[in-house]
Amino acid sequence: MAILITGGCGYIGSHTCIELCKAGYEVVALDNFHNAKPKVIERISALSGKPLTFYTCDIRDARGLSAIFEAHTVEAVIHFAGWKAVGESTVLPLEYYENNVSGTVTLLKVMRKFGCKRIVFSSSATVYGEENPSPLTEDMPVGKVANPYARTKLFNEHVIEDVCAADPDFCGMLLRYFNPIGAHESGTIGEDPNGIPNNLMPYIAQVAVGKLPYLQVFGNDYPTHDGTGIRDYIHVVDLARGHVAAVAYALSHTGAQVVNLGTGVGYSVLDVVTAFERVNQIPIPYKIVPRREGDVTIYLADPTKAKELLGWQAEHSLEDMCRDTWRWQQRNPNGYDDE
Ligand code: NAD
Ligand code: UDP
């Protein structure tokens, strides 16, 4: 009996493979390397203490997926595979709908063919939109989402809810992530963005390592304690453990459940910069620049449901996130391209 991880070579998927192995699950992973490097497979294997069972496969390829389901008895799927660049999704909406939504439909059809009735899906806090007040709870109406990427997450939530409604034995866990950052404490796996990072922590890490000259802080006129935007940053290993808890729940329940994975604690951009400097003893030069379009003042999870339903809560501090990000970046200044 195996757990299939789609997008298993990506940032969150790679950390989840390790946590699932540690928890005693048999893990089978697939990826098409759209946004990952094969090198991660040997790193996952080294950290798990056994070779990762891996297939190069695209989730839009029903035949390729079927071959995996024929080779393994898949009890549940954790579905990370997808494209995630918000800006790119506004330029390539059809490609995003095809990869993220059609890909998910193909996966669900193959699961149905093989009688696999449990899925844990990577949704995003972005589906709350801009109008709901933080802290965000799962019972809030999903918001007016701002871009095609966010809409693919919302559509997939609806698709999985409809599958659960059609089959009373089906379980769908819709996990809404807040801001995952950090890396495995070994410093051997972490986030490896293509080109100049869009997100705060990988940008800071590249300033720290000397690849970028300074951080641009997008606005210091927000109504927060220091004027910069507040987010709910969650250590990627905590997030991975949230998936272990979600899959355990899915194996013994039916129906659809929406669950926030966040810490419930918010930090501003300057809080993160200051913590990174303090923990790692490295100055991070920055300049205040105008607000970035589409950014909101504060985005924060209410993590109560995850604790009550799954018995899971985040354990790592902001300091851990800064320390582990730096260890990964320092040891792999060019990500998986090093060596
Ligand atoms: P990632 O890009 O590192 O990982 C996704 C993996 O899926 C990559 O390895 C990529 O090669 C693979 N992939 C993409 N399309 C595929 C396809 N058609 N077939 C097979 N493999 C495919 O991203 P991540 O940060 O690990 O995110 C994982 C999931 O979580 C994504 O669905 C993402 O949208 C979602 N998510 C991420 C964040 C975040 O901030 N990182 C926040 C909320 C939600
Ligand atoms: N941010 C910033 N400079 C950057 C990247 C991000 O000031 O180079 C800010 C951004 O305005 C937001 C916070 O950092 O307040 C988190 O941004 P990120 O892109 O990491 O996550 P998201 O916007 O998706 O929450």
Enter the tokens of residue 280: 């790692």
Measured distance CA(317)–CA(320) in Å, rounded = 5
Q: Among the listed ranges 203-212, 213-222, 271-280, 330-339, which one has the minimum average pLDDT value?
A: 330-339
DSSP letters, 9-64, are: TSHHHHHHHHHHHHTT-EEEEEE--SS--THHHHHHHHHHTS--EEEE--TT-HHH
Whether 225 lines ligand 2, by a CB cut-off of 6 Å, is: no
Whether 200 lines ligand 2, by a CB cut-off of 6 Å, is: yes
Best mutation site among 218, 228, 230, 288 for ligand 2 pocket (most ligand atoms within 8 Å of CB):
218
Judge whether residue 339 has pLDDT over 60.
no
Query: Which range has the top average pLDDT, 124-133, 174-183, 290-299?
Result: 174-183
Measured distance CA(276)–CA(331) in Å, rounded = 16
Whether 217 lines ligand 2, by a CB cut-off of 6 Å, is: yes
306 C-alpha to center of ligand 1: Å?
22
Would residue 149 show up in a list of annotated catalytic residues for this protein?
yes
Share of the chain above pLDDT 70, in %: 99
Whether 134 lines ligand 2, by a CB cut-off of 6 Å, is: no
Q: Residue 144 class from Cβ within 10 Å (0-12 exposed, 13-18 middle, 19+ buried)?
A: exposed
Residue nearest to atom 34 of ligand 1 (CA): 84
* The Cα angle at residue 254 between residues 251 and 258, in degrees rounded to 5: 95
DSSP code, position 4 = E
Residue nearest to atom 3 of ligand 1 (CA): 10
Averaged over 151-160, what is the pLDDT?
98
Tell me which of 25, 128, 149, 203 is the catalytic residue. 149
Judge whether residue 231 has pLDDT over 60.
yes
Q: Given its phi and psi angles, is residue 267 left (phi above 0), alpha (psi -120 to 50 degrees) or beta? A: beta
What per-residue confidence (pLDDT) applies to 174?
Answer: 98
Tens of pLDDT along 164-208? 999 999 999 999 999 999 999 999 999 999 889 999 999 999 999
- Ligand 1 environment, Cβ below 6 A: 6-7, 9-13, 31-36, 58-60, 80-84, 99, 103, 122, 124, 177, 180
Phi, psi of 104, deg, nearest 5: -70, -40
Torsion of CA 109, 31, 18, 256, to 10 degrees: -30
96 C-alpha to center of ligand 2: Å?
22
Measured distance CA(336)–CA(308) in Å, rounded = 38
Say which ligand is closest to the CA of 40: 1
Q: Residue 210 class from Cβ within 10 Å (0-12 exposed, 13-18 middle, 19+ buried)?
A: exposed
Going across the sheet that includes 171-177, the strands are 53-56, 26-31, 2-6, 74-79, 118-124, 171-177, 255-261
Instruction: Read off the pLDDT band of 27 (50, 70, 90).
Output: very high
199 C-alpha to center of ligand 2: Å?
5
How many Cβ atoms sit within 10 Å of the Cβ of residue 50? 11
Cis ω on the peptide bond leading into residue 135 (within 30° of 0)? yes
Measured distance CA(279)–CA(33) in Å, rounded = 33
Enter the tokens of residue 284: 């991070």
Q: Which residue from 165, 159, 87, 69 is spatially nearest to 123, judged by alpha carbons?
A: 159
C-beta of residue 17 within 8 angstroms of C-beta of residue 51: no
221 C-alpha to center of ligand 2: Å?
14
Judge whether residue 242 has pLDDT over 60.
yes
